[in-house]
Structure 1
């Protein structure tokens, strides 16, 4: 990193060494980030099955509040910039009731112990499921193997429990018409390796206010019940206890006021809801420690942000989208957004790896070479959806620097969507996702605190804060260095794509199509370079613009060479 900075400064004619601010921010964050703090907050949050408005969600919000208050953030009274460090809890009435699970068990009558219970499988109760009568219900179970939905509606299931190797929500309407009192189902994707991790259940949901309850089974529970059903018609004792009640939705927002351009800001977002440890108690815990450290450094005058820094915790996508869209004036000043979602994985246990999900670049359309999508799956990205910006390469290079320092594996994936980075992108704001995938415990009740790594959270927190501190106080030197960095990344990517296109043409792919891929990549990077013009706080000269023009010419020349060779 230092080499690139020095080269850029020398090229700009400064002729002398200038300290790279990112190096200083790395020192501060590496020394100051307390991984144990992040881990303890994660452990607190993961105790709860968190749905907006319920006990666990609200307790998590107030846990963050206590961390912010202790760090020196003060409750906002009039506006978010009335003090250098402020926070607020936004409260909104909920249109629908909130929900939380209490207990559940399923036992085969005649056997002493339940074959599955809430104590070991909190995800067995789908969100919105109601309760059985006190003491539970006892009823025969009917195993549905291949019957169609149309046939199911004609069956007499009055007073019975329907069991199928499908997600119960698919059967709920038909089972209700057939008179069933409940539905047991199973649905686990292959990447969770259910035959290996036989006690896992991915959390789900069902239609609210249904007269019929549904429960989800693990692979082991499903196999046990299936074996019993193939021998006869077992009776089941089912007990479900949940709470459904009116509440309010909470979002907590903390701000560090910028000293020069406070209306311009970097926004971090971590969602609270979902029942897992990595997903997303780890994001809550990591971001809380990032906010605490920021306040500490600010009060000690070790950082002096020129732009503002915002930390947000709430309901996934909903809170972030609302933060962006509710105040159009505020939204105009959001320059970068970053989502922390599943950032603490103990990768040797989960199988996932740390990833930066990029903003839409051409790899989201032409995914080839070492680029690959995760098990989440590719998004529907067309050329009109591409989002050229230096943010992709800037963040990736920061993370690579931390990776080299800490022996931390860093990778990326093309844009896929599905978390708090998407509202930023949908509103034309640069937004990235820090996460881990593919994870065999993703969305399952085996995503517990033993799968969380304090070291992983520290690496993410250090990288995120170092990048944010650099950007919110960026000057012309930072911008000029970024031009050199992005130009180098562009030339490297063009060489990679050129080599891939040569092989593709040799294998029979149309030349015009391969040349088009090179052209799109070239344009994406040239447009990304142009966005660096707005990086520096209140730029005073044309030096950055000149560096951009020089880099653009180099990319255009190299692109022309590659296109000629591909003829």
Structure 2
């Protein structure tokens, strides 16, 4: 996950209106029942174990080994490798290979010593994020030099300083500290930069991975990332007098191909229309995003098993994609304009396996842009990262937000799973879909105190959490790729209930605001924007049936829109 993300709570449900998930379609109940027994969370966890051991960056050995591991899972599940173009078989896959425009990189080993002390201050064996991405190797014996503290490492702070032959230490992102220091003659850089939500004074050995810019193999230097404990120890030592440090770094850079793995479960009657799942492989963590890779691999295996037994018969195609975050998903969409026209929904799995008792990361659905991203109020909240306020012109009215949420809440209703949502912020594999005007959502967890740190390891992953996510995601895909008129009508009624629940919640908030002296016209406008959003979202539901929508679907949509109109008018009159 590489996003400036956000956290917020789920849609509010009030007693006056029955929750949509309380009345699941008969087909939905069947899907959850068979997924409970078919999805094997231990197999998903085993894949996480394999992937999280590897430091993954597009093109490097850890990334490629992860792709090929998932390929074996697909082969064993019955997927056949394509030989030319997108095959017409029921279960197929391919690995796309493209030369990378720049070299890839992988860490091998590193250590940081204060000269005169026997034990290393940091070592790669116990802190795998200490080497800044794209760092070059030092000589085998390492580099020993005087350490110079440079504050935040800004260009202004370094103006006029002679750092020739020195190793610098700055409190800021490694990219800036390294870039400014090397320009002034430094031989390498140490940097500390940990956000408050990671609780660095408590998790004193945590390091978030970062990178430095790459120039060429001849001039490239190295950067070391510091934990809170390492930073504090160096500062104490510097306060006592001159400090000399020794740094040993061993890394690899080389030309490589970027791999993307694509698997298809071909739809029976509308194969060119599809539901696309994506999970990115790069990043070194277990939750981020080995959990997404492992969950999606088991979802692909589960789907194949159910299709082969004819327990699921998708009329539209279900696609599973593993690759480089945003890059691979965007390419899948933009490289084939004809294929892109058939992509009806995109769903990204990113950080989906969190053991919330250990990480603090709550399960979230990041919604497509709706009015909560403009007026973030009530129980809607952003994470510590914060979110950018959107405009009304940025809205993406669609039923997908509520349809996926209802599936998750149905799973939660019998399991105690905690389900929440957050307003749109972007930054993961759902954004390429939205940029292409394709409905796209993100399933993830936040706020995780171990996000992007070396502590994001296997023991932070919950197999049960992955199963909750997988069951909800697959039930959603199965419904949308095989819905008949009866199922589609039930889903439209679900979404109507969601709309009425939201309007009731927003009315209560607006009424409270007016009573507190806020402008009445503005509060009425908020209700009108929510009304318009849901009227358009319900109109989109005409495409839910995996065939031409019949009379019952059209009538359900019209009735839902009328109810939204009438309830909004009633609320506005009461403000």
**Which TM-score applies when normalising by structure 1?**
0.96
Using a 3 Å threshold, how does the CA distance of structure 1 residues 151 and 450 change in structure 2: closer, same or farther? closer
The number of equivalent residue pairs is: 556
Q: Which moved more, 1:333-342 or 1:163-172?
A: 163-172
Check whether the contact 1:46–1:448 (CA below 8 A) recurs between aligned residues.
yes
Alignment-derived partner of residue 549 in structure 1: 558
| Residue 306 of structure 1, aligned match among 300, 315, 318 | 315
TM-superposed CA distance for 1:380, in Å, is: 4.2
Give CA-to-partner distance per residue, 1:526-565, whole Å, 9 cap, x none: 1111011111011253221111111111111111111111
Change (3 A) 1:123 1:268: same
Cα-to-partner distance string for 1:498-536 (whole Å, 9 max, x where unaligned):
110111112221111111100000110111110111110
Written as runs of structure 1 = structure 2, the 5 A alignment for 1:389-428 is 389-428=398-437
Q: 1:221 deviation in Å? A: 0.6
> Could you tell which deviates more after superposition, 228-237 or 247-256?
228-237
Q: Counterparts of 2:64 and 2:179 in 1: how far apart (Å)?
A: 32
Aligned to 1:245: 254
Q: Please give the secondary structure, in 2, of the residue aligned with 1:436.
A: strand
Q: CA deviation at 1:80?
A: 2.4
Equivalent residue number for residue 379 of structure 1? 388
2:78 corresponding residue in structure 1: 72
Q: CA deviation at 1:151?
A: 4.5
Do 1:180 and 1:212's aligned partners in 2 also have CA atoms closer than 8 Å?
A: no
**Cα pair distance change 1:187/1:46, threshold 3 Å:** same
**Counterpart position of 1:114:** 120
Aligned pair partner of 1:215 in 213, 224, 234:
224
The alignment partner of 1:154 has SS state of: coil
How far off is 1:239 after superposition?
Answer: 0.1
- Unmatched segments (≥5 aa) in structure 1: 9-18
Higher RCO (C-alpha under 8 Å, 6+ residues apart): 2
Q: Secondary structure at the match of 1:56?
A: helix
Shift of the 198–147 alpha-carbon distance from structure 1 to 2, 3 Å rule, reads: closer
**1:395-474 paired onto structure 2 within 5 Å:** 395-474=404-483
Change (3 A) 1:6 1:422: closer
Asked if 1:283 is matched to 2:292, the reply is yes
Residue 13 of structure 1: aligned partner: none
1:503 aligns to 2:512 (yes or no):
yes
Q: Tell me the residue number matched to 1:177.
A: 183
In the alignment, what sits opposite 1:191?
A: 197
Give the secondary structure class of the aligned counterpart of 2:317: strand
How does 1:259-274 map onto structure 2 within 5 Å? 259-274=268-283
Determine the structure 2 residue equivalent to 1:339. 348
Instruction: Give the equivalent residue in structure 2 for 1:351.
Output: 360
1:268 counterpart SS class:
strand
Determine the C-alpha separation between the residues in 2 that align with 1:6 and 1:134.
Answer: 64
Structure 2: how far apart are the matches of 1:101 and 1:540?
A: 54
Aligned to 1:321: 330
Residue 267 of structure 1 aligns to a residue whose secondary structure is strand
Q: Within the alignment, does 1:164 sit opposite 2:176 as a pair?
A: no
How far 1:146 moved relative to its partner? 7.0
Instruction: Please tell me whether the aligned partners of residues 153 and 181 of structure 2 are also in contact (alpha carbons under 8 angstroms).
Output: no
Deviations 1:79-109 (A, max 9, x none): 3232110000000000100000001110011
The aligned counterpart of 1:25 is 31
1:204 maps to 2:210: yes
Unaligned 5+ runs, structure 2: 1-16
Q: Distance in 2 between matches of 1:149 and 1:336?
A: 46
Q: 1:3 to 1:276 in 2, by over 3 A?
A: closer
Give runs of ≥4 in structure 1 deviating > 6 Å. Answer: 1-8
Instruction: List aligned pairs for 1:529-544, cutoff 5 A.
Output: 529-539=538-548, 541-544=550-553
C-alpha separation in 2, matches of 1:173 and 1:489: 51
The range that moved more, 317-326 or 175-184, is: 175-184
> What is the aligned counterpart of 1:235 among 244, 249, 270?
244
Describe the SS at the equivalent of 1:355. strand
Q: Cα–Cα, structure 1 residues 316 and 248, in superposed 2: closer, same or farther, change >3 Å?
A: same
Q: 1:16 maps to what in 2?
A: none
Give the aligned partner of residue 569 of structure 2.
560
1:87 aligns with 2:96: no
Call closer, same or farther: CA 1:472–1:151 in 2, change over 3 Å. Answer: closer
Q: Match for residue 364 of structure 1?
A: 373
CA distance in 2, matches of 1:195, 1:435: 26
- Give 1:51's aligned residue: 57
Asked whether the 8 Å contact 1:162–1:184 carries over to 2, the reply is: yes
Supply the distance in 1 between the matched residues of 2:92 and 2:154 (Cα, whole angstroms): 58
Deviates more, 1:371-380 or 1:111-120: 371-380
For 2:336 and 2:550, locate their aligned partners in 1 and report how far apart those are by CA, in whole Å.
32
Say if 2:151 and 2:157, in contact at 8 Å, map to a contact too. Answer: no
1:492 pairs with 2:501: yes
Q: 1:509 to 1:6 in 2, by over 3 A?
A: closer
